Amino acid sequence: MAKRYDVIVIGGGHNGLVTAAYLARAEKRVLVLEKRPRVGGAAVTEEIFPGFKFSMFSYVVSLLRPEIIRDLDLPGHGLHILPLESTVTPMENGDYLAAWADHDETRRELYRHSPRDAEAYDEYGRLMHFMAQAVKPILSMVPPDPTSFAPGDLAALLKLGKHFRGLGAERLHALVKLMTMSSADFLDEWFETDVLKATKSASGIIGTFLGPRSPGTAYVLLHHYMGELDGVFRAWGFAKGGTGAVSEAIASAARSFGAEIRCDAGVSKVLVKGGKATGVVLENGDELLAGTVVSSLDPRRTFLQLLEPSQLPDEFVSDIKRFKFRGSSGKVNIALDSLPTFTCMPDGGPGGRLHRGAVSISPSLDYVERAYDDAKYGEFSRRPYMDIVFPSMIDPGMAPPGKHVMSIFVQYAPYNLNGGWTDAKREAFGDAVVNTLEGFAPGFKSKILHRQVITPLDIERITGLSEGNIFAGELALHQLFFLRPAPGWAKFTTPVRGYYQAGSGTHPGGGIMGASGRLAALRILKDGT
Partner 1 sequence: MSLRTTPFHPRTAPLSEGQAWRRWAGYVVASSYELSHDREYHAIRNSAALFDVSPLYKYLITGRDAAQLLDKVVTRHVAKAKVGQVLYTPWCDNAGKQIDDGTISVLNEQTYRMTSADPTLRWLHLNASGLDVKIEDVSEKTAAVSLQGPRSREILQLAAQQDLTSLKYFRLTPARIRGIPVTISRTGYTGDLGFEVWVDAAQAVPLWDAIVETGTPYGITPAGMLALDVARIEAGLLLIEVDYFSSRHALIESQKSSPYELGLGWTVATDKEQFNGKDALLREKKQGSSWQFTGLTVDWDSLESLYAAVGLPPRLPSQAWRTSVPVYDGGGRQVGYATSGGWSPLLKQYMALVHLESQFARPGTELFMEITVEHRRKAARARVTPLPFFNPERKRA
Partner 2 sequence: MSDARYDAIVIGAGTNGLVAAHYLARAGKRVLVVEQREVPDPAADMGWIPPQVLKDLRVPGLRIEEPDPWLTVPLPAGGTLELSRDMGKSVEAIRRVSPADAGKWAEFSARMHTLASVLERLYLAPPPDIETRDPRELARIGGLGLYVRRLGKQAVIDLARVLPMSIAELLDDWFESDALKGALGALGIWHLKQGPRSGGTAFNFLHHHVGSPAGVFRPPRSNSTQALSELNGVELRRGQRATVLARNGRATGVVLDGSGDAVLAPLVVSSAPPRSTLEPIAMELDPEFAWAVRNIKARGVVARGTYAIGTPPDFWNLCFAPSLDYLERAYDAVKYGRDSGAPYVEVQRTNGRVELHVQYVAPGAHQGLTEAVARVLNARPDQITLQPADESLYHGELTLDQILFMRPVPGWSRYRTPIEGLYLCGSGTHPGGGIPGAAGRNAAREIV
**Interacting residue ranges for partner 1, rule: CB under 8 A:** 100, 104-105, 107-109, 115-116, 118-120, 122-123, 126, 129-130, 349-350
Q: Which of 525, 513, 510 is nearest to 250 (CA)?
A: 513
> Using CB distances below 5 to 8 A depending on partner kind, what does residue 177 bind out of partner 1, partner 2, none?
partner 2
Least spacing, CB of residue 101 vs partner 2, in Å: 30
150 Rama class: left (phi>0) / alpha (psi -120 to 50) / beta: beta
For partner 2, the closer of residues 336 and 375 by Cβ is: 375
Least spacing, CB of residue 215 vs partner 2, in Å: 4
For partner 2, the closer of residues 463 and 506 by Cβ is: 506
> Using CB distances below 5 to 8 A depending on partner kind, what does residue 376 bind out of partner 2, partner 1, none?
partner 2
Least spacing, CB of residue 149 vs partner 2, in Å: 8
The number of angstroms, rounded, from the C-alpha of 28 to the middle of its chain's C-alpha atoms is 28
> Using CB distances below 5 to 8 A depending on partner kind, what does residue 176 bind out of partner 2, partner 1, none?
partner 2
Q: Which of 412, 408, 409, 423 is nearest to 381 (CA)?
A: 412
> Using CB distances below 5 to 8 A depending on partner kind, what does residue 119 bind out of partner 1, partner 2, none?
partner 1
Least spacing, CB of residue 487 vs partner 2, in Å: 4
Residues 377, 416: Cα–Cα separation, whole Å: 10
What angle separates helix 14-25 from helix 515-527, to the nearest 10 degrees? 40
Binding site for partner 2 (CB under 8 A): 146-147, 165, 169-170, 172-174, 176-177, 180-182, 185, 189, 210, 213-216, 322, 324, 366, 369, 373, 376-377, 476-478, 482-483, 487-488
Least spacing, CB of residue 162 vs partner 2, in Å: 12
Least spacing, CB of residue 115 vs partner 1, in Å: 5
For partner 2, the closer of residues 373 and 431 by Cβ is: 373
Residues 527, 529: Cα–Cα separation, whole Å: 7
The number of angstroms, rounded, from the C-alpha of 284 to the middle of its chain's C-alpha atoms is 31
> Using CB distances below 5 to 8 A depending on partner kind, what does residue 234 bind out of partner 1, partner 2, none?
none
Least spacing, CB of residue 473 vs partner 2, in Å: 14
Residues 238, 228: Cα–Cα separation, whole Å: 15
Residues 124, 111: Cα–Cα separation, whole Å: 15
Give the residues across from 454 on adjacent strands: 331
Q: List the Cα angle 202/206/209 in 5-degree steps.
A: 105
> Using CB distances below 5 to 8 A depending on partner kind, what does residue 322 bind out of partner 2, partner 1, none?
partner 2
**Cα separations (Å) of 344 from 232, 275, 362, 409, 439?**
30, 62, 14, 20, 11
> Using CB distances below 5 to 8 A depending on partner kind, what does residue 107 bind out of partner 2, partner 1, none?
partner 1
